[in-house]
């Protein structure tokens, strides 16, 4: 059985382009602001949305996403809000996944979380700090509820291990393009293309690149070799600015349209 995410990659491959995937934490900039941002992103041409589960100890994230997570947690964002944002995105007609550190999943209940993702229209979950060695119960749960377990690989991941991780992955392989934390960068690392090539050699799954993309030009260059371009910090920076929500949403829409154009210019 295929998820909306699986179907998305069939579609973008037929259109010979990359997908644009946007990340936004649940409860950020506020619960209603998150729902509005999702609508704006979808209208602007984003193909899929990652809903972040804001977590107190985000070791993979740079200052921008840390700040957003802190705002969301202080506002009392819960697992229910994460699932509600997931449903908002899914109802808007795009593939929707959750990105979460592992502890909130264990606290919710491993099988229960996978089931809740499916019930709320989600296609899968990205788990950046869950290693395949610790994934036994999780893979049983994602399989039982027919959602994609999405793993992150890095430039330091060996070829042998890339094959092992890809074999457990569903939906797409998340290629973290640089050794480091999330955040917009002036240049997307040259490691990214090399990493995507190494992953291609071991799997036929789609491969999406994240960490550092913030401009149309960067999206275009990554779209030349990847199946999807993931953008998080660049969107969040706009929502963190002190502008009114109206101005911020306009800027969000503008950037998303630019990036959506970028992913169509890569090939």
Partner 1 sequence: MSVEVNEQVGHFGQFGGRFVPEALIGALNELEDAHNAAQKDPLFLAELTELHRTYTGRPSIITEAKRFAEYAGGARILLKREDLNHTGSHKINNVLGQALLTKRMGKKRIIAETGAGQHGVAAATAAALMGLECVVYMGEEDTRRQALNVARMKLLGAEVFPVTSGSRTLKDAINEAMRDWVTNVDTTHYMLGTVAGPHPFPTMVRDFHKIIGEESREQVLALCGRLPDAVLACIGGGSNAIGIFHAFIPDEAVRLIGFEAGGDGVETGRHAATITGGSPGVLHGTRSYVLQDDNGQTIESHSISAGLDYPGVGPEHAYLHELGRAEYRAINDDAAMNAFALFCKTEGIIPAIETAHALAGAMIVGHELGSEAILLINLSGRGDKDVQTAANYFGIPL
Positions marked catalytic: 50, 61
The CB density around residue 1, as the number of other CB atoms within 10 Å, is 5
d(CA 18, CA 266): 8
Task: Kindly state the smallest distance separating residue 29's Cβ from partner 1, in Å.
Answer: 19
Q: How far is it, in rounded angstroms, from Cα 226 to Cα 196?
A: 7
- How far apart CA 205 and CA 260 sit, in angstroms, is 22
Say if CB 214 and CB 234 are below 8 A apart.
Answer: yes
Give the residue ranges of DSSP H helices in 15-124: 31-43, 63-74, 79-91, 102-108, 110-119
Q: Give the separation between CA 188 and CA 153, rounded to whole angstroms.
A: 16
Return the number of the residue (165 or 238) whose C-beta is nearest partner 1: 165
Q: Where on the chain is the footprint of partner 1 (CB under 8 A)? A: 55-60, 62-63, 66, 70, 73, 78-79, 102-108, 128-131, 133-134, 151-158, 161, 165, 176, 179-181
User: Least distance from C-beta 71 to partner 1, angstroms?
Assistant: 13
Q: Residue 63 Cβ, how far from partner 1 at the closest point, in Å?
A: 7
Report the alpha-carbon distance of residue 145 to residue 153 in Å, rounded: 24
Tokens 């917009």 found at:
184
Angle of helix 136-144 relative to helix 110-119, nearest 10 degrees? 30
When the beta carbons of 58 and 121 are compared against partner 1, the nearer one is 58
């Amino acid at each position: 059985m295929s998820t909306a995410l699986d179907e998305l990659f069939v579609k973008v491959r037929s259109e010979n382009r990359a997908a644009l995937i946007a990340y936004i934490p649940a409860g950020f900039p506020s619960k209603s602001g998150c729902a509005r941002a999702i609508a704006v992103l979808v209208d602007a041409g984003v193909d899929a949305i990652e809903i972040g589960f804001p977590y107190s100890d985000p070791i993979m994230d740079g200052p921008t996403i840390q700040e957003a997570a802190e705002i969301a947690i202080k506002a009392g964002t819960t697992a229910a809000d994460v699932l509600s944002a997931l449903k908002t995105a899914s109802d808007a007609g795009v593939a929707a996944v959750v990105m979460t550190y592992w502890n909130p999943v264990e606290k919710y209940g491993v099988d229960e979380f996978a089931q809740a993702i499916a019930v709320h229209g989600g296609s899968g979950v990205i788990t950046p700090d869950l290693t395949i060695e610790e994934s036994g119960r999780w893979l049983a749960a994602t399989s039982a509820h027919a959602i994609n377990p999405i793993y992150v690989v890095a430039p330091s991941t060996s070829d042998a291990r890339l094959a092992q991780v890809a074999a457990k992955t569903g939906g797409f392989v998340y290629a973290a393009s640089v050794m480091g934390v999330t955040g917009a960068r002036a240049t997307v690392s040259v490691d990214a293309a090399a990493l995507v090539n190494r992953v291609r050699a071991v799997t036929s799954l789609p491969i999406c690149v994240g960490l550092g993309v913030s401009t149309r030009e960067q999206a275009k260059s990554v779209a030349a070799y990847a199946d999807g371009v993931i953008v998080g910090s660049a969107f969040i920076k706009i929502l963190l600015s002190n502008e009114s929500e109206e101005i911020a949403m306009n800027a969000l829409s503008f950037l998303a349209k630019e990036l959506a154009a970028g992913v169509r210019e890569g090939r």
